[in-house]
Structure 1
Amino acid sequence: MRHSLRFKVALVFSALTIVLLVAQALGVKTFAEAQEEKLITALIRDDIANVMQGYRANPALLPPFDARLNGYVSAADQPLAALPGSIRNLSEGTHEIVLDDREIHVAVVPFEARRLYRVYNFSVYEKQFRHVIDMLMAGTGIFALLTIWLAYGLSGLLVRQVAGLARQVKALRLGGSTPINPGKYDEVELVGLVEAFNDYHRRMADMIEREKEFTCNVSHELRTPLTTIKTSCELLEQDAAQGTKSRARIQQIERAADNMRELVNALLLLAREESTQNVEPVRLARMIETALAPFADRLANKGVETVIDMDRNVHVAANRSALAIVLSNLADNASRHTDRGHLRFSYADGWLRIEDTGSGISAHALPHVFDRFYQASPEQTAGHGVGIGLAIVKKICDRYGWPVELESEPGRGTRVSLRLPAAGPGSASPDALSAVS
């Protein structure tokens, strides 16, 4: 769980202050109790000295003798109930005992081969003392609550400028271009942070501008020759002098130009972060057929059967160019690593599954197949790629929110699962419209 900076500052201030208040209250209580005992001990010592001096000067003042205790028992103030016989076993000195639910002090001193028991009742004083201590602890609790309120208020003042900086940064993130004015901040640390952020924002803006210029230039420089190739192929197809083999080659060139155009569109969309634009219902079976067309001869020469096991009217909501490049790379990868058996496409429960009976991928290489320039078996794929196809697939799938999973077993083949949302009912794709027309 995440908390605001203000909450954390208030929590630290409150906790620290409360700990100090409690420590101070406990210290005062301990010190007061110690001083109380010292005061009572001093009072008893002075009183005993005076009483003993008086009894020695005038023995007639001696209190009655208690045979049970083998000594004289006197009280410093009002008369007390009879002392228990266990008092006789007390050593000489001052003792604190409980008598009739009251704490009393008994001073035991020797007197002419006997003992003198002097009883002192400080219960009223100790009651008042405990009342003062309780008031002290209650005051500590009140101050602790007040500390929490004050800490939250003061923390708001402390983080006020940080919160303002966060709002300005958010405004920049949402499209603002004006740099943050460091003159609005008083703290040296915040001024340094604002200047560093302004420098970073300026460099990022320059980099984005250069990237936009680059993508525009690439778009123009690549699309122009592709358009020329496409136009030339169309003109050559209209030439009656072209033979059957020549027309097949022209169609291959035209398909390659179309694939290149789709690749350029997809890469430009990724570069411009247009992740939610141009999403439309597309017929999945036709997209798969188009993606397999460039590899038909390769698969036929190997004797690999291609199976599209799905309803041909299934439509998925996707960006056409992005999906085309994903399917093309997956089909290319499967065709290069499958020398026998079949290549099967199926769609169920929102998942497109591409299964082949190729060489498979070893367990140690499986976690790295989507890494750029990684090749599971370079000795088998030399001259057939540089290990970037699946990296492009992963990047496109992440951009468009298409979960992709890959399962493989050496010698038994590979299965790629791609989750594509089905197009909603009632949505018509351009393929369907063209078929109707």
Structure 2
Amino acid sequence: MKTLYTRIVIVYIITVMISLVIGFFTLTLLYREILGSEQEEMFIKQGKGIITLFREFDDMSELKNVANELLKPMLIDFTIYDSEGAPEVFGTVKRSISEERIQQVLKGGVYREEGSDPNNPIVGLPFQKDDKQYALFVYVSDSDLNKDAYQVIILGFLSILISGSILILIVSRFIVKPLTKMTQVTQELSKGNFDIHLNWKRKDEIGVLARNFDIMAEDLKKLEQMRRNFISDVSHEIQSPLTSIRGFSRALREKDLPSAERLEFLQIIESESERLSRLSGHLLQLASLESDQHTFEPKVFSVDEQIRAIILKLQPEWSKKDIQFTVDLPKTYIVADKDLLHQVWQNIIYNSIKYNKDGGTIGIRLTKKTRMAIVEIEDTGIGIAEEHLRNIFERFYKAEQSRSKKNGSGIGLAIVKKILELHHGNIYVRSKLGEGTKFIITLPLKNKPKR
């Protein structure tokens, strides 16, 4: 019972057996009811014919000869009782009939077997001859005929059970075989072997399951690769500033180091420490957002004013590159977590400044459609190649070498994506290499946390 194959076979066989038992009893009842009533009618009809024949013969021995010839193909026998209860048997079998039944018929009653022995039906008919009362009892000459019929039914049901069980064994193995194969594949997956595929062409539910299984294996393979890349990227991001800190800390031990260089090294150590702090903060925040335990505090605020405040906050950055802003921000109130959305706008606008060219432009446009607020942020920067667009929201993903040189951790957009998901919003990106990038953010005007 530990295997699915055994369970399926046992359940199927038990189901077949129950169905056969129900069918047998149903068929038996119908057989008794229909065949029993037909036999009674036949016995009555034949009994009337025998009575007519009996009345035409005065010689009992002559009647017996004629009756025996007639009874052979009819498979019935009969016994005639006179008014004294003396029997005269016609045929090969004498049935034991109670005195009570004989007297009942002699008195003019018709007797029908009510099923005490359905294999031996009997009918009793009264009649008169020469002013004498007689009783005729008609019955089956071979009582084993009905028993044989029951045996045929039983053998038929047994043959159905045996052949059905064999077919169930074969079909169940065919059903369970793919699941057994999936179990083997699952064991391989648990060992870290993701280069396995079922590749079944079946169109039934098992075929759909197999195809979904292949998709799952492929996703697990990608997830494992992402995990390895994540560990590698985190190690690299941490190792790089640690190496700088260690190197410059050793340099500071030099007694003859000029004060100007000492100050420069201290600034570098401070800068790398801040970089480590930002990285760890981003990782902790992303872990908090993904664990669905992050505090979500929606409230009504003006999103256009929030974006304007961020543009002003970043003025030192865009002023150094002589970047021009074109802003179309009509008054728009939304219900959202103000602090979380602040990170979204700051990250995207800061990236637009960071990867823009000197003297470039950034356009920010806010529109409302039905119940959604749509914010478009477009720059004239270095752009992103098309093959990298689908991956830019992954952790530590860096689309271009030119971007990686700008000390980005590659985790900011992953945080942006998660924050927008918590707000039931979304983010899309369009970009052409060398021409610029456009981010499109959609947010519902009223919000509840996504859990």
TMscore range, shorter length: 0.3 to 0.5
Structure (1 or 2) with the larger CA radius of gyration:
2
Q: TM-score, normalised by structure 1?
A: 0.42
